[in-house]
Amino acid sequence: MEIQTLNVSKLVDNCNRQLNYLRLSITDRCNLQCRYCVPQDLIPKLSKDEILTYEEILRVVRIATRLGISKVRVTGGEPLVRKGVYEFLHELTATEGLKDVSLTTNGVLLKDNLEKIQAAGISRINISLDTLNPAKYREITGYDEFDSVWQGIEQAHQMGFYPIKLNIVALKGINDEELVEMARLSFRYPFHVRFIEYMPIGQSDFNPDSLLLAPEIKNRISAMGNLVTIQEAEHDGPAQRYKYEDAIGEIGFIPALSQHFCNKCNRLRLTASGQLRPCLLSDHQEDLKEALRQDCSDRQLAEIFIKAVRHKPSDHNLVAKNPARVYGQMRAIGG
Ligand code: SAM
C-alpha cells in the first residue's frame, strides 16, 4: 500500500505518546436526551449526507490500522440507532490489524440485539447507567427506559459479555445519593462500575454546582469497604482501577478534570461528520470527510492522520471550576 512510502509506521505525537486507539462516533442521533449531555432545546441533527457512510468509516479504519491503530470503540450518539449497524460491526471486526473492537451504548436497544452484537465478534461493552432508580432514570434521560436497559445488562452478563463496564456520570444533587448502591453492584456482578467526572462539552442543561470530583466520590464509596488498587496493565485506559476486598467486579474512576490523564492518552476520535479530533477536550479537528469525498488517495488520508497527531495537545486546558467549554457536542464527537 502506498501509505508505507510515508515512512510512518506508528502514530507518535509530539509528546512521544503512541496513539493506537480510535473512537468512532457513527451517528449524532440518540434515543435518550440526558440533561448533562444535550440541552432541552434540541440542537439540529446532522443530515444523512453530513455523516460518513459505513464504507467511508471502514476505509478510514483500514488506513488507521496501517498507521498503528489496533483498538477501536464504536460510540455516538447512540450507535445502535443507526440502520445497518450490526452488519457494519461485522465488517469492522474483520478489519486486518484490529485487535480490539468494543462498543459504548446506553443499553436501550441492547436486550433484543445482543446476539447480533456477539455474532459480529464484540464481547466488550460499556453501558451508560447513571442511576438504579427508574423514576430518576426518566428524570435524567427524559425516557422511561430503565427496565429495558437493566434487562439488557443482565442478559449481556448471562451471555458471557466481558468485561461489562457500567459508566456513571456522577452528579451532585442528582445521583450522588446512589453512588454507594452502584458501587455495591461490584459484589453481585463481575461488572466494572466506573464513575466519570462531568466534562464541560457542548451545550447542555448542566448546573455547574452538580460537579462531583473523583476524590470525593472515592471518599464516599470507601465508606462501604476498603478499595484496593488494581495494578495498571500496559494498555489500560484512563480509569483508575480499584476493587473491594471480596468483590467480583471492579470500581473505576475517570477523573477527567481533577487529575488529568493526558500524559497517557492514546486516543484519536473520528466524529460522525468525519472530523478527526486529536483530543476530546479541544476543538481542533482535521477534515477527513472532505478528503474522502474528493477521491483522495490512501496516502493523503494518512497524511491527515499525521497532521491531527501533530496537533494533539500535551494537556487539555480544562480544570475543575474553570468555565472554559468545548464547543462540539458530545453526541457528535463521541463520548
Ligand atoms: N449513547 C452511548 C452511551 O450512552 O453510552 C454513547 C455516547 S455517550 C455521549 C458516551 C458517554 O458519554 C455516556 O456514558 C455519557 O454519560 C457520557 N457523557 C455525555 N456527556 C458527558 C459530559 N459532559 N461529561 C462526561 N460524560 C459525558
Residues 57-78 pLDDT 10s: 999 999 999 999 999 999 999 9
The 10s digit of each residue's pLDDT in 167-179 is 999 999 999 999 9
Average pLDDT over residues 49-58: 98
Give 75 Cα–ligand 1 centroid separation in angstroms.
9
Side chain identity, residue 139? E
> 154 by DSSP, 3-state: which?
helix
Stretch among 202-206, 301-305, 318-322, 328-332 having the lowest mean pLDDT? 318-322
Q: Is the CB of 275 under 6 A from ligand 1?
A: no
The 10s digit of each residue's pLDDT in 257-278 is 888 778 888 999 999 999 999 9
Average pLDDT over residues 25-50: 87
Average pLDDT over residues 234-255: 89
Grid-cell match 436501550, residue found: 108
Whether residue 168 contacts residue 295, with contact meaning beta carbons closer than 8 Å, is answered with no
Q: What pLDDT is attached to residue 326?
A: 60
Q: Is the CB of 195 under 6 A from ligand 1?
A: no
Q: Cα separation of 156 and 143, whole Å?
A: 22
Whether residue 309 contacts residue 268, with contact meaning beta carbons closer than 8 Å, is answered with yes
CA atoms within 13 A on the CB side of 59: 19
Protein residue with its CA nearest to atom 12 in ligand 1 = 335
Ligand 1, pocket-test mutation among 196, 267, 329, most atoms within 8 A of CB: 196
Q: Is the CB of 330 under 6 A from ligand 1?
A: yes
Q: What pLDDT is attached to residue 77?
A: 94
**Mean confidence (pLDDT) of the chain:** 90
Strand partners, 23: 73, 269
Give 27 Cα–ligand 1 centroid separation in angstroms.
13
pTM summary value: 0.92
Give 76 Cα–ligand 1 centroid separation in angstroms.
9
Protein residue with its CA nearest to atom 9 in ligand 1 = 335
Q: How far is CA 160 from CA 114, 146, 163, 164, 252, in A?
A: 11, 21, 9, 9, 21
Average pLDDT over residues 31-56: 88
